[in-house]
Amino acid sequence: MDLRTAHALVRFGMGPSGAQPPPADPSAWLLNQIRQPDWTWGSPSAGPLPTTAQGLAAIREDREDRLAARQADLGTAAGQAAPGPATRQTDPGMTDGRRFPRMADGRAFPGMTNGRAVPGMTNGRAVPGMADGQTDLGMADGRRFPGMADGRAFPGMADGRAFPGMPNGRAFPGMVDGRRFPGMVDGRAAPGPATAQAATPGQSRSRTLYRAQGLAAVARAVMTQTPFRERLVWFWTNHFTISLRRPQCAAVAGAFVQEAIRPHVTGRFQDMLLAVMRHPAMLLYLDNAGSVGPDSMGGQRSHRGLNENLARECMELHTVTPAADYTQADVTAFARILTGWSIELRNDPPGFVFRPRIHEPGEQTLLGRRFPDGEDGGIEALRYLANHPATHRSLATKLVCHFVADTPPPAAVRRIEGILRDTGGDLGAAAAGLVGLDEAWTPGSKIRTPLDLVVASFRLLEVPPDPSPPFLAILADLGQPLWAAPAPNGWSDVAADWSGPEAMMRRIDWAFAVSGRIGDRDPMAIAEASLGPLYRPATRDAMARAGSRREAMTMLLTSPEFQRR
Amino acid sequence: MDRLPAPLPRRATLLGLTSVVTLGRISLAVAAAPTDQRFVVVILRGALDGLSAVVPYGDPGLAALRPELVPPAPGQDQGLLDLGGTFGLHPALAHAHALYKANELLVVHAVAGNYRVRSHFEAQDYLESGADHRTSSGWLNRAVAAMPAARQTQPNAESRAIAIGPSVPLLLRGQQAVANWAPHGFAEPEHALYQQILSLNRADPITGPAIEAGLRDRGFGDEVMGGVQQDAAKGRYGFPALATAAGAMLKAPDGPRIAALELGGWDTHTAQTNRLVQPLTQLDTGLDALRTALGDAWGRTVVMVMTEFGRTARMNGTRGTDHGTATVAFLAGGAVAGGRVVANWPGLGRGQLFEDRDLAPTTDIRSVAQGILVAHLGLNPAVLGAVFPGGEPAQPLRGLVRAA
């Protein structure tokens, strides 16, 4: 393997896979991934991944269960009948009333004397089960999954053996027998903590969906044969961060990636932006589902108002950035434009809905442009922001930071920025432009994030991630819990934020743990075959002297050449 | 908890380890165990220096070969723990010494497999496969499979043997289904491995300083980084904790009867005197933890401690030793006819070393294993050829266990 091939696998791909031969022509291999469809996986016998609609149904059912439990408690405590159905007419878009008070002063909204002034409106405390924000705890029956015929949590997940889309686990590359798999002995699911915890009673449906989707997402990254596309998926997912910091996102996080991000990673940025901004995960995460135009019919009657969270973050993080010199008036205008972009949980299927009744009427001025009211005005505004020169510059900077270096070389940024401008935001063309950057072919200039490291390690070892919560706990232990960034700006993409001493020690400890899965394979042969010239003689020498395969593999996974990409 | 419920709850609590020991779906639900005897194999990966663990201080050739590697004589401060005038246990093996004095520890010295390779990986494969060629299954798995059929009445026979650790070692792999258990979370590697990882990263401007600071923050002071390791407690993932878990499982009336554990950190190419203290202490503490956890079942237990090869008789240029040949094996347990050192001692004098560098092998490690399998687990001697296939058949050593 030559250096260019080895580098292409780690810089643009998700790390070399022991199961896939290295490409003969790395540039052509990368460019083909842009032109060709995404790798598909799974088998017809396996169920599909949960959709957004199914996730929303899970949110609704979780909420109803909590409500029923609360009513039962109230009924017991007060010695009287639980409140009737009217109380249940809560606005499904209004998912967490606690966020609203930050618009005012933390107290109830003016004019809000009870939770019924507007159907569905509450002050955050009137929604049973929602006040504490613990949306996914205390479920009595986590095993029932809406839309699944047999009522099991997720196809193939109940016993921990198979992944979604992979009925018996055999679809994993390199899985010829069970010996390579921890927790599997002789190809059968072996007893062990790793296999014990799928679809557990006591977990909410939302949480169950999160686990299934999270595991599937990482397993896909481990197995994909179009790893450049996959890296783009993770890159754009991080760009449009949604997070379990808002617990409702759990049920739809995976569907968000599949439906709003993945289809567009080589398409036009404006299409991805629109898909993201209409996706319930984003509308929940950044509070737009409950944002009400003050002068709308609903706003007039309820005295509710704007929530500018999504509008602000969309401008600041997703599109133009403060470099565009927008003002608070622009943010407010954009928030008005986006009012009514909400979610309806009771529709069939549940999903995005434009609610004219709470949409702010009238034309709005954003960055000097006028946009009409109505749903189309929002679409127009997003299209404008998507194609703004400042957006192109921001996206180019982020892409170059990810694919070239923590400090993006200005010339490289200008190249990608020019491509985005000239192609109307064609992300495939930008990706091809990255492959064409000389600067992107300098090895080792990026430190792997924990997620990158975990995926790359699993690919190298040809083993699937553990189909169990411990696997997701690993990412948390390493400092990057899946789909749970602390803030809307997502995970850092620079080494300084990932190279703390304890963080590095945890990587070592995890590398030691996962290296226990080396089995009877030769770690040095794995290193030679997959890292090629990136494999340093010093690492080779140390591995040759290692006391066991496991220790040798640990050295490889913790070596500078593997920590970097 | 004396008796493990069957099936176990998702999280079971064992012996005060509380939630640390996550048993998961480990299946110990077998009514009729194949044997009431317990057998535990501890694989020491990385090649234990047998001449340091059980020092032949009575051999006049020793001091000249490795003057700086020999602990003080018995009776002196930090001195050897005497085993009867010729051999002495490393001072870190105090619990083992107590077992020896209670006739529950047997030392087999100058032992090696039937292979003469000095590659860790190859030698470990041979050690575990028990064959004269590499196989995809291990001798312990084949032995379990060959145990008397009348005792294999339970469909869930996998509970007869269990691998304690993150994976099933070759020793236990094969046709016979076995269980596998490890605590959830990250185990910490041996400190020597941290050191090697640090040195591999030292030149890296990001990972190098981070790892160095990380080790410091975790309390591995400079002294420790130099090799002295005072803190043998490695928490819930350490060998003593695994040994405790293994003992608790083996003790259960319905539990497994055979277990395999691993312990690394033996590849002492440099600063051996310091670096051996930690893994030896781990081993010693672990054996004691196993004994404690087994309770009454200790009396029906044999623990076999083995490593892939020994180390050079001479000290190398960095106060360590390189890959060698013969080494030591231990048998511990209430069922062991202990209190003895079994060795056809080859000597360390001129012309007595193997290839003029290593302790010469005079006992085949497979003879030790066979002796246990036959006398302790009741394996039919006629199947030994199938359990240890190929080459010259080793003969089971006799008299390793007490008469029942």
Give B16-48 pLDDT, tens digit per residue.
Answer: 222 222 232 222 222 234 578 999 999 999 899
Chain segment A44-59, per-residue pLDDT in tens: 434 567 899 999 999 9
Its sign, for the CA torsion A229, A230, A231, A236, is positive
SS3 state at A547: coil
Interchain contact, A503 vs B199, CB within 8 Å: no
Lowest mean pLDDT among A137-141, A238-242, B240-244, B373-377: A137-141
Chain segment B326-345, per-residue pLDDT in tens: 999 999 999 999 999 999 99
Q: Residues of B numbered 117-176 whose beta carbons fall under 8 angstroms of chain A's beta carbons: which are they?
A: 120-121, 124-125, 136, 158, 165-168, 170, 173, 175
Q: Residues of B numbered 196-215 whose beta carbons fall under 8 angstroms of chain A's beta carbons: which are they?
A: 196-197, 199-201, 203-204, 206-208, 210-215
Contacts of A330 (CB under 8 A, 6+ apart): A315, A366, A367
Residue B255 at interface with chain A, using a CB cutoff of 8 Å: no
Helices (H), A404-449: 410-423, 427-435
Question: SS3 helix, strand, coil % of chain A, rounded to 5?
Answer: 50, 5, 45
Beta bridge partners of A168: none
For residues A30 and A5, the answer to whether their CB atoms sit within 8 Å is no
A vs B, Cβ pairs < 8 A, gives 184
> Measured between alpha carbons, how far is B273 from B269 in angstroms, rounded to an integer?
10
Place A337 in a pLDDT band, splitting at 50, 70 and 90. very high
- Bond prior to A349 in cis (omega within 30° of 0): yes
Average pLDDT across chain A, whole number: 78
Nearest residue of chain A to residue B47 (CA atoms): A547
Checking if the pLDDT of A75 tops 50, the result is yes
Interchain contact, B120 vs A547, CB within 8 Å: yes
pLDDT of residue B83: 97
Interchain contact, A182 vs B180, CB within 8 Å: yes
Q: Which residue has the higher pLDDT, A141 or A27?
A: A27
Contacts of B182 in chain A (CB under 8 A): 192-193, 516
- Bond prior to A182 in cis (omega within 30° of 0): no
SS3 state at A342: strand
Chain segment B173-223, per-residue pLDDT in tens: 888 878 877 665 566 787 889 999 999 999 999 999 989 888 876 765 434
**Residue A328 — φ and ψ, nearest 5°?**
-60, -35
Contacts of B167 in chain A (CB under 8 A): 182, 516-519
Interchain contact, A196 vs B217, CB within 8 Å: no
Checking if the pLDDT of A84 tops 80, the result is no
Chain segment B85-138, per-residue pLDDT in tens: 899 999 999 999 999 999 999 999 999 998 888 888 889 989 999 988 878 899
Min CA distance, A523 vs chain B (Å)?
10
Pick from A474, A520, A549 the residue to mutate for testing the B interface (most B CBs within 10 Å).
A520
Contacts of A546 in chain B (CB under 8 A): 46, 120, 196, 267
Residue B29 at interface with chain A, using a CB cutoff of 8 Å: no
Place of tokens 């790892």: B211
What pairing do the DSSP bridges indicate for beta strands B81-82 and B88-89?
antiparallel
Checking if the pLDDT of B161 tops 80, the result is yes
Q: Tell me the two tokens of residue A106.
A: 């933390």
Residue B316 at interface with chain A, using a CB cutoff of 8 Å: no
Pick from B186, B272, B322 the residue to mutate for testing the A interface (most A CBs within 10 Å).
B186
Share of chain A above pLDDT 70, in %: 75
Lowest mean pLDDT among A435-444, A501-510, B136-145: A501-510
Beta bridge partners of B38: B301
**pTM of the prediction?**
0.69
Checking if the pLDDT of B155 tops 70, the result is no
Interchain contact, B26 vs A539, CB within 8 Å: no
Contacts of A449 in chain B (CB under 8 A): none
Residue B160: which of B243, B38, B13, B262 has the closest Cα?
Answer: B38
DSSP conformational letter for B150: G
CB-nearest to B204 from A518, A552, A560 is A560
The one-letter amino acid code at A556 reads L
DSSP conformational letter for A103: G
Pick from B48, B158, B200 the residue to mutate for testing the A interface (most A CBs within 10 Å).
B200
Its sign, for the CA torsion A508, A510, A512, A514, is negative
SS3 state at A46: coil
Q: Which residue has the higher pLDDT, B295 or A156?
A: B295
Min CA distance, A351 vs chain B (Å)?
36
Interchain contact, A196 vs B10, CB within 8 Å: yes
Share of chain B above pLDDT 70, in %: 81
Q: How many secondary structure helices (H) and strands (E) does chain B include?
A: 13, 12
Q: What DSSP element (H or E) covers B302?
A: strand B301-307
Nearest residue of chain B to residue A466 (CA atoms): B184
Q: What is the ipTM of this complex?
A: 0.76
SS3 state at A297: helix
Contacts of A518 in chain B (CB under 8 A): 167
Residue B23: which of B301, B340, B256 has the closest Cα?
Answer: B256
Contacts of B39 (CB under 8 A, 6+ apart): B257, B258, B259, B301, B302, B303, B304, B372, B373, B376, B377
Residue A194: which of A203, A176, A181, A207 has the closest Cα?
Answer: A181
Q: Which residue has the higher pLDDT, A380 or B22?
A: A380
Q: Which residue has the higher pLDDT, A109 or B203?
A: B203
Q: Residues of B numbered 264-303 whose beta carbons fall under 8 angstroms of chain A's beta carbons: which are they?
A: 264-267, 269
Min CA distance, B206 vs chain A (Å)?
7
Highest mean pLDDT, choosing among A108-112, A250-254, A461-465, B220-224: A250-254
Q: What DSSP element (H or E) covers B259?
A: strand B258-263
> Measured between alpha carbons, how far is B303 from B246 in angstroms, rounded to an integer?
12
Min CA distance, A219 vs chain B (Å)?
20
DSSP conformational letter for A156: T
Interchain contact, A547 vs B46, CB within 8 Å: yes
Min CA distance, B166 vs chain A (Å)?
5
CB-nearest to A539 from B120, B189, B200 is B200
Contacts of A499 in chain B (CB under 8 A): 206-207, 210
Angle ∠(A412,A417,A422) on CA atoms, nearest 5:
130
> Measured between alpha carbons, how far is B6 from B19 in angstroms, rounded to an integer?
18
Checking if the pLDDT of B355 tops 50, the result is yes
Chain segment A464-475, per-residue pLDDT in tens: 666 555 678 888
Chain segment A10-20, per-residue pLDDT in tens: 999 999 998 88
pLDDT of residue B34: 54
Average pLDDT across chain B, whole number: 82
Checking if the pLDDT of A128 tops 90, the result is no
> Measured between alpha carbons, how far is A262 from A237 in angstroms, rounded to an integer?
9
Pick from A494, A524, A549, A551 the residue to mutate for testing the B interface (most B CBs within 10 Å).
A551
CB-nearest to B267 from A179, A499, A546 is A546
Place A172 in a pLDDT band, splitting at 50, 70 and 90. very low
What pairing do the DSSP bridges indicate for beta strands A364-366 and B179-181?
unpaired
DSSP conformational letter for A559: S
> Measured between alpha carbons, how far is B189 from A99 in angstroms, rounded to an integer?
45
Interchain contact, B136 vs A509, CB within 8 Å: no
For residues A252 and A47, the answer to whether their CB atoms sit within 8 Å is no
Residue B366: which of B347, B392, B404 has the closest Cα?
Answer: B392
CB-nearest to A505 from B27, B184, B214 is B214
For residues A559 and B201, the answer to whether their CB atoms sit within 8 Å is yes
Residue B138: which of A539, A65, A519 has the closest Cα?
Answer: A519
Interchain contact, A548 vs B45, CB within 8 Å: yes
For residues B285 and B303, the answer to whether their CB atoms sit within 8 Å is no
Pick from A161, A185, A550, A558 the residue to mutate for testing the B interface (most B CBs within 10 Å).
A185
CA distance to A52, A357, B271, B322, per residue, from B317 (Å): 65, 84, 10, 10
Question: SS3 helix, strand, coil % of chain B, rounded to 5?
Answer: 35, 15, 50
Q: Tell me the two tokens of residue A15.
A: 């790390």
> Measured between alpha carbons, how far is B326 from B118 in angstroms, rounded to an integer?
11
Residue B309 at interface with chain A, using a CB cutoff of 8 Å: no
Place of tokens 């003689």: A537
Beta bridge partners of A447: A564
Nearest residue of chain B to residue A502 (CA atoms): B214
pLDDT of residue A278: 97
Interchain contact, A190 vs B22, CB within 8 Å: no
Interchain contact, A510 vs B158, CB within 8 Å: no
